[in-house]
Structure 1
Amino acid sequence: MADNNSLAGDESVMRKINDRVIIVQVLVSVFLCINFLLITTFFMKDYFYTTMRYILFANTLLSDCLFLIISDILLILNYFHFTIQMWLCLIIYIVLSLHTFVTPFTLTTMTLERYVAICMPLRHAELCSTRSTLQCILIIHSLSSIPCIFILSIFFASATHSFYTQDRICSSHMFMLRGWQGHLRSAISQFYFLIMCITIVFSYVKIMKVAKAASGENKKSTWKGLRTVVLHAFQLLLCLIQLWCPFIESAVLQIDLMLFINIRYFNYITFILAPRCLSPLIYGLRDEMFFHALKYYALCGLYKKQ
Structure 2
Amino acid sequence: MINIEYRHMNKSIYWYGALIFVMIVWATVYPITKMIVSNVDPLFISFLRYLIGLVPIAPFFIHEVRKNRVKFKRNELIEMSLIGLLGVTAFALFLFYGIELSTASNGSLLANTQPIFTTLIAPLIISESFSFSRILGAVIGLVGISLVVTGGNFTHLDLSEGHYLGNFLLVLSALSMSVYSILIKKHIANYGGLIPTFITMVSGVLFLSLPILIIENGFGSILSISLHDWLLLAYVGVVGTAIVYLMFNSALKHLGVIRSVGFKLFIPVFGVLFSVLMLGEKPGFFIILGALIVIGAVYFIQRVPGKTKAVNSMNVL
TM-score, structure 2 normalization: 0.29
Q: More helix per residue: 1 or 2?
A: 1
Greater Rg by CA: 1
Q: Which has the higher contact order (CA 8 A, sep 6+)?
A: 2
TM-score, structure 1 normalization: 0.29
